Each structure stands twice: as structure tokens, then as C-alpha cells.
Amino acid sequence: MPKQIITSASAPTTGFTPGGSVSPLAQAIRFGNMLFVSGQGSLDPATGAVVPGDIETQTRQTLDNLMSVLAAAGATAENIVNMRVILRDTADFPRFNETFREYFNGEKVTRTCFGGVLHRAGTNVEIDCVAMFD
């Protein structure tokens, strides 16, 4: 079974490559009934620039980008089974978590959240996920 590359025009494609070469990353890959979404950050899909603002603003933009990739694959938040979150500053966790909770409005997922240094300056949150289809 071949893997299927998923691309959304409503989400940025990440991956830092020198000289404007093509990114080696896919926004998502579907393999069978599994969908693996690459880490999404708080980037404006139209410009690729980091959306300025507090952790709540950046969390919403990051989740909007992630949901756009899911939609391109025919999935929604209901398909998500696991998420990983990286926060630049773990002190942002309470405000991140409240925004996350509001965004998901009761939908349950498994999640790991940890602190780390994100590669893009100004980006304070990155989220990836695994989703499943019936």
C-alpha cells in the first residue's frame, strides 16, 4: 500500500531548506487508515510569517493550521487519537491548555506536552498529531 501525501493550501508547508530548495517534509502522510500530520506552528498560511501575539493567539493559529491539514485529508478533530505539543516556555502551559480545551470543546485526545527550543524565531508552540480513519 503506497503512502498518500496530503497537502492543504490553507496551511503553511514547513521545513527549512537552504537556497529555496523544496522542503523534504509533507504536511501530512496517510498510510492505510492512519494519518500523520507534521508539526504545525503559528505561521500565517498566506505569508509563512510567524503570527505575533500571546500564547493563546499562537495556539489558535497553530490549531487552525493543523485542522486545515486534517480537512485536506477528509478528517476532523474527531479522528485525532494522539497529539504532541512543544512549548518554547513551559510557563505558558496553563494559558495554552485553557485555549486548547476551549478549541477542542470536549473532544478527547491523548497528548504529550513538553518544553523545547523551536527552530523558528517567534514561534512559541508546535503541534503534530496522529489521526485514524475507520
**pTM of the shown model:** 0.93
Q: Is residue 8 part of a domain?
A: no
pLDDT(128) > 60: yes
Give the per-residue pLDDT at 62: 98
Could you tell me the pLDDT band of residue 24, with boundaries at 50, 70 and 90?
A: confident
**CA dihedral (117, 119, 121, 122) positive or negative:** negative
CA-derived radius of gyration, the chain = 14
> Is 95 among the domain residues?
yes
| Residue 46 counted as domain residue | yes
pLDDT at 1: 79
Is the CB of residue 134 less than 8 Å from the CB of residue 35?
Answer: no
- Binning pLDDT at 50, 70 and 90, where does residue 23 land? confident
In a domain, 74, yes or no: yes
Is the model's pLDDT at 19 over the cut of 70?
no
* pLDDT value for 22: 72
CATH of the domain at 69: 3.30.1330.40
Residue 18: per-residue pLDDT: 56
Domain that holds residue 112: 27-132
Length of the chain measured in residues: 134
Within-domain flag for 17: no
| 18 domain-assigned | no
Instruction: Tell me whether residue 20 is in a domain.
Output: no
Return the SS3 of 35.
Answer: strand
How many domains does the structure of the chain reveal?
1
Per-residue pLDDT tens over the stretch 33-91: 999 999 999 999 998 899 999 999 999 999 999 999 999 999 999 999 999 999 999 99
Structural domain contains residue 21: no
Residue 48: predicted pLDDT: 87
